[in-house]
């Protein structure tokens, strides 16, 4: 249909407004379900000095993330300075907080900015895919450890204990399967091809208008396989990026832990890991910009189900939102506004993709 791009262009603002409305409604629901006086008391008890730590940790988290990109790029023969990677990381991640694309908008912005710095598109895709794989693999490890800690160190109701045991089994199974794919090249290619075809079939039934072309998904799984081949061929060069990514996740989890400390309700690191992982994963796959409301609601629900009072959980999660999402946005606009405008102009000139 020749008028489809124009129709999509008109629909996007409507979808954005609807998605934001859903996110705000979810936030409002959290406040509605809480005790207003207790919520205000919890918020007013925060010492301003304790809020500095989450902000500092956020900056360190982004610095570690930037170093992981830099190490992978160096291994690929594409050298950029750390400050340049810091700019790209802040801007590309900030875009993901503003656009409903399950992370694809930040990926596209990163590709554009790297191409502007003379890095071939193939290498840019490879760098991002390798970093994404290492990031998600490391997150799975943290989640498995968090659930295992919960099972071993906390008294849980039978239903919660059963759910936690199932979760541990699932995440350990995913990690084991990932390790198998690392060493079994033929199985890895078949698995990636099957996943690409399954995604296309599901999207074609659920959201046909926004279903990417099958050849695009095949190209993506081919690029992902090449990225994994690159990673496995340079295992010794991947130790440093993996270490930086592990540090990045550890710092990000510590931000949420520090948020609970600031509301004078310290909780165990195992609980923090589980709430953090659930919130981050759901915010990534949601259609709401930055997972607004989705992340807060899911994190709060996890903490409350694990016997954390509702009001401290809400305030702590909101502190995490401000530190981990709003602060990077402010940094991007204030310090890296030139790069943001460059990315915005470049993405605006990109031709629309049709299916």
Identify the pLDDT of residue 274: 84
For residue 308, give the nearest of 89, 150, 91 by alpha carbon: 150
Q: Do the Cβ atoms of 74 and 239 come closer than 8 Å?
A: no
Kindly state whether residue 255 falls inside one of the protein's structural domains: yes
What confidence score (pLDDT) does residue 94 get? 83
Residue among 76, 66, 77 at smallest CA distance from 230: 76
Residue 115 belongs to some domain of the structure: yes
In a domain, 45, yes or no: no
**Rounded CA separation 100/285 (Å):** 9
Q: How far apart are CA 325 and CA 60, in angstroms?
A: 14
Q: Is residue 143 part of a domain?
A: yes
pLDDT by position in tens, the chain (length 355): 444 444 545 555 676 677 778 888 888 888 888 888 999 999 998 988 889 999 999 999 999 999 999 999 988 888 889 999 999 999 888 877 766 444 456 677 887 888 888 887 777 877 887 888 888 888 888 877 777 777 776 656 666 656 666 766 776 777 677 777 767 777 777 776 777 677 667 767 765 665 566 666 666 666 666 666 766 677 788 889 999 999 999 999 999 999 999 999 988 888 898 889 888 877 776 767 777 888 899 899 889 888 889 999 999 999 999 999 899 988 888 888 777 777 766 655 554 343 3
CB 17 within 8 Å of CB 288: no
- Alpha-carbon span 59 to 61, nearest angstrom: 5
The answer to whether position 307 is within a domain reads yes
pLDDT of residue 70: 93
CB 212 within 8 A of CB 355: yes
CA pair distance 31, 311, nearest whole angstrom = 9
Residue matched to tokens 């990673």: 231
Domain count along the chain: 1
Tell whether 235 is covered by a domain: yes
Is 15 part of a structural domain of the chain?
no
Q: Is residue 89 part of a domain?
A: yes
Determine how many CB atoms are found less than 10 A away from the CB of residue 41: 12
Which domain range does residue 80 map to? 51-349
């Amino acid at each position: 249909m020749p008028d489809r791009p124009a129709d999509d262009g008109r629909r996007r603002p409507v979808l954005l407004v609807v998605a934001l409305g859903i996110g705000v409604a979810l936030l409002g629901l959290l406040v509605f379900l809480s005790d207003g006086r207790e919520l205000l008391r919890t918020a007013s008890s925060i010492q301003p000095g304790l809020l500095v730590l989450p902000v500092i940790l956020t900056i360190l988290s982004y610095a570690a993330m930037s170093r992981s990109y830099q190490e992978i790029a160096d291994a690929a023969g594409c050298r950029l300075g750390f400050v340049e990677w810091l700019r790209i990381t802040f801007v590309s991640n900030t875009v993901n907080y503003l656009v409903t694309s399950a992370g694809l908008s930040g990926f596209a912005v990163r590709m554009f900015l790297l191409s502007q710095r003379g890095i071939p598109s193939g290498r840019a895709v490879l760098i991002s895919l390798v970093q994404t794989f290492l990031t998600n693999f490391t997150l799975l490890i943290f989640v498995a450890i968090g659930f295992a800690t919960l099972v071993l160190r906390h008294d849980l109701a039978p239903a919660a204990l059963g759910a936690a045991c199932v979760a541990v089994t699932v995440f350990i199974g995913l990690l084991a399967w990932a390790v198998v794919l690392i060493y079994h090249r033929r199985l890895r290619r078949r698995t990636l091809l099957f996943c690409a075809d399954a995604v296309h079939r599901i999207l074609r039934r659920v959201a046909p208008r926004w279903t990417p072309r099958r050849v695009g998904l095949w190209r993506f799984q081919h690029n992902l396989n090449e990225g994994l081949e690159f990673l496995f061929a340079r295992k010794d060069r991947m130790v440093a990026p993996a270490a930086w990514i592990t540090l990045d996740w550890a710092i990000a989890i510590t931000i949420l832990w520090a948020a609970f400390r600031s509301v004078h309700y310290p909780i165990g690191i195992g609980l923090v890991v589980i709430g953090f992982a659930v919130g981050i994963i759901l915010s990534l796959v949601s259609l709401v910009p930055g997972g607004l409301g989705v992340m807060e609601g899911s994190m709060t629900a996890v903490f409350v189900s694990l016997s954390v009072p509702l009001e401290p959980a809400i305030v702590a999660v909101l502190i995490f939102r401000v530190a981990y999402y709003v602060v990077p946005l402010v940094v991007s606009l204030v310090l890296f506004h030139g790069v943001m405008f460059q990315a915005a102009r470049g993405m605006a000139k990109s031709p629309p993709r049709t299916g």
